[in-house]
C-alpha cells in the first residue's frame, strides 16, 4: 500500500508539473488567438519572417525595475530591413553629441553644406517621431556622422548594429558627411568639417539577406532576389534594448546608458509619445495611429488620452517594424513590445505593392490590443 501511495503521489506531482509546463505565457496565448488578423499570419509565420519580443516590466517595493522577456522566432542572424527605426538612435545620439560641444543645447540651430535652411535640433527630432520624416533624419545624420553613430551604439553594448546609408535620398551611401554649421547659444558660429567615414562597408553575411524573386529597377523587373547585404542592420533585440535604455536608464550600468541630460531624455520621451496633431500636422492625413502600429495602426480613431505609446516605427520594402513602450497610467498597465513582419505577397521588392493595410498593420494592431487587454484583465483580477 505504501508503495502504491508513493507512486500515486509521484504521478500527481508529474501531472501538475506537466500542466504548468504546458501553460502558455502571455505572448504565446496572444499568438494562438483565433482572431483572423493574427491567425492568417500565424498559419504561416515563416512566410512573414515574423520576430517578436514582449517584455513584462516588474517593479519592486522601491520602484526598481526588472525585465522579463518573452520572444517569438527571435534571431539576429535572420535579416530584416530596419527602415526608419534607425532614426531612433539618430535622434538620441544627436543630443548626445551636442553635449560634447560647448555653448550648445537641444534648442541650437544648424545648417548643412549646400542648403540655405537653418534647422533646429528639437524640431528635427520632433519630425522624426511624429511623422518619421526622412529629411530630418538625414540632416541629423550629417551632424552625427556614421562613425560616431556606430561606435557610440557599440560602446553601450547595443550590437549587432550598423548604419551604412541615409534614407530615401540620392547617393545615400556616400561615406563623406557634409560640413555642418552650428549656430551656438552664445551667438558664436562653429563649422564642423566634412568627414570621410571609416564605416564598415563589408557586405552583411546573414540568413535571409537575399529576398524574394525579383525587384524593380528603373521601372524594369530584375528577376533575381533583392540583395540587402549593403543595407543598414538593426536587429530586433538591439532595437528593443535601445528602448529599454531610454525609458529605464537606471536599470543599466552607466557605461551602457545614453549620455543625455535630464532635459534631453525628457524631450526624447515627450517626442516619442507625441501625436502628429499635437506636433502641428494635419490630423486627417496624419491620424493618431499613423506612427503607432501597435493597437492603433489599422485604425483611424483617436487614441484615448490615458494611453501613451513611446515608440519608433519603420516601414519599407514590405517590412513593418514597431518598437514600443505602452503605458496606461489610469489602469496601471505598462509593457514593451517589438515586432517585425514582412508582408510582400508577390515577392517583388521596390514595386510599392505591399500588404501593409491588408495583413501587416491589422496583425500589429491586434497584437498590441490583445496584449493590452490581457494586461488589463490581469490588473483587474
Residue-wise pLDDT for 54-112, tens only, equals: 999 999 999 999 999 999 999 999 999 999 999 999 999 999 999 999 999 999 999 99
Q: Look at residue 369 in the predicted model and tell me its pLDDT.
A: 98
**Nearest Cα residue to 130 out of 327, 250, 309:** 309
Render pLDDT for 316-337 as a digit per residue (tens, 0 to 9).
999 999 999 999 999 999 999 9
Q: Look at residue 42 in the predicted model and tell me its pLDDT.
A: 98
Q: Look at residue 19 in the predicted model and tell me its pLDDT.
A: 42
Q: Look at residue 381 in the predicted model and tell me its pLDDT.
A: 74
Q: Look at residue 15 in the predicted model and tell me its pLDDT.
A: 40
Instruction: Average pLDDT across each block of 10 residues of the chain; the chain has 381 residues. List them in order.
Output: 48 42 85 98 97 97 96 98 98 97 96 95 98 98 97 98 97 96 96 92 96 96 98 98 98 97 98 98 97 98 97 98 98 98 98 98 98 92 74
Report the C-alpha gap between 243 and 63 in whole angstroms.
19
Q: Look at residue 3 in the predicted model and tell me its pLDDT.
A: 54
Q: Look at residue 14 in the predicted model and tell me its pLDDT.
A: 40
Q: Look at residue 23 in the predicted model and tell me its pLDDT.
A: 75
Can you list the positions of beta strands (E) in the chain? 51-59, 65-72, 109-112, 119-120, 176-177, 180-183, 189-192, 195-196, 210-211, 214-217, 220-222, 226-227, 307-316, 319-328, 333-342, 348-349
Q: Look at residue 7 in the predicted model and tell me its pLDDT.
A: 44
Q: Look at residue 22 in the predicted model and tell me its pLDDT.
A: 59
Q: Look at residue 200 in the predicted model and tell me its pLDDT.
A: 79
User: What is the CB-side half-sphere exposure of residue 194 using CA atoms within 13 A?
Assistant: 10
Q: Which top CATH class is 24-380?
A: alpha beta
* Residue 274 neighbours by CB under 8 Å, 6+ apart: 126, 129, 130
Q: Look at residue 378 in the predicted model and tell me its pLDDT.
A: 87
Amino acid at each position: 500500500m505504501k508503495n502504491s501511495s508513493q507512486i500515486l503521489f509521484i504521478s500527481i506531482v508529474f501531472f501538475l508539473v506537466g500542466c504548468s509546463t504546458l501553460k502558455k505565457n502571455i505572448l504565446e496565448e496572444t499568438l494562438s488567438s483565433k482572431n483572423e488578423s493574427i491567425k492568417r499570419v500565424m498559419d504561416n509565420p515563416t512566410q512573414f519572417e515574423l520576430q517578436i519580443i514582449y517584455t513584462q516590466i516588474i517593479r519592486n517595493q522601491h520602484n526598481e525595475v526588472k525585465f522579463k522577456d518573452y520572444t517569438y522566432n527571435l534571431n539576429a542572424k535572420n535579416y530584416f530591413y530596419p527602415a526608419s527605426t534607425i532614426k531612433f538612435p539618430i535622434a538620441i545620439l544627436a543630443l548626445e553629441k551636442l553635449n560634447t560641444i560647448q555653448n550648445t543645447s537641444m534648442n541650437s540651430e544648424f545648417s548643412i553644406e549646400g542648403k540655405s535652411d537653418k534647422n533646429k535640433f528639437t524640431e528635427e527630432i520632433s519630425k522624426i517621431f511624429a511623422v518619421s520624416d526622412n529629411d530630418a533624419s538625414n540632416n541629423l545624420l550629417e551632424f552625427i556622422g556614421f562613425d560616431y553613430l556606430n561606435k557610440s551604439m557599440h560602446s553601450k553594448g547595443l550590437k549587432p548594429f550598423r548604419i551604412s546609408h541615409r534614407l530615401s535620398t540620392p547617393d545615400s551611401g556616400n561615406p563623406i558627411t557634409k560640413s555642418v554649421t552650428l549656430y551656438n547659444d552664445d551667438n558664436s558660429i562653429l563649422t564642423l568639417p566634412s568627414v570621410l567615414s571609416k564605416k564598415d562597408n563589408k557586405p552583411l553575411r546573414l540568413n535571409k539577406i537575399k529576398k524574394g524573386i525579383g525587384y524593380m529597377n528603373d521601372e524594369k523587373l530584375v528577376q533575381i532576389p533583392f540583395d540587402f547585404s549593403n543595407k543598414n542592420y538593426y536587429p530586433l533585440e538591439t532595437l528593443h534594448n535601445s528602448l529599454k535604455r531610454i525609458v529605464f536608464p537606471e536599470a543599466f550600468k552607466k557605461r551602457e546608458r545614453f549620455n543625455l541630460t535630464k532635459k534631453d531624455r525628457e524631450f526624447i520621451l515627450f517626442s516619442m509619445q507625441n501625436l502628429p496633431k499635437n506636433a502641428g500636422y494635419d490630423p486627417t492625413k496624419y491620424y493618431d495611429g499613423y506612427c503607432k502600429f501597435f493597437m492603433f495602426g489599422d485604425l483611424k480613431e483617436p487614441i484615448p488620452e490615458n494611453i501613451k505609446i513611446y515608440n519608433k516605427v519603420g516601414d519599407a520594402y514590405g517590412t513593418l517594424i514597431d518598437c514600443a513602450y505602452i503605458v496606461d497610467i489610469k489602469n496601471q498597465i505598462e509593457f514593451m513590445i517589438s515586432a517585425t513582419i514582412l508582408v510582400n505577397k508577390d515577392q517583388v521588392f521596390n514595386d510599392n505593392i505591399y500588404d501593409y493595410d491588408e495583413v501587416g498593420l491589422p496583425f500589429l494592431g491586434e497584437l498590441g490590443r490583445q496584449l493590452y487587454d490581457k494586461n488589463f484583465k490581469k490588473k483587474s483580477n
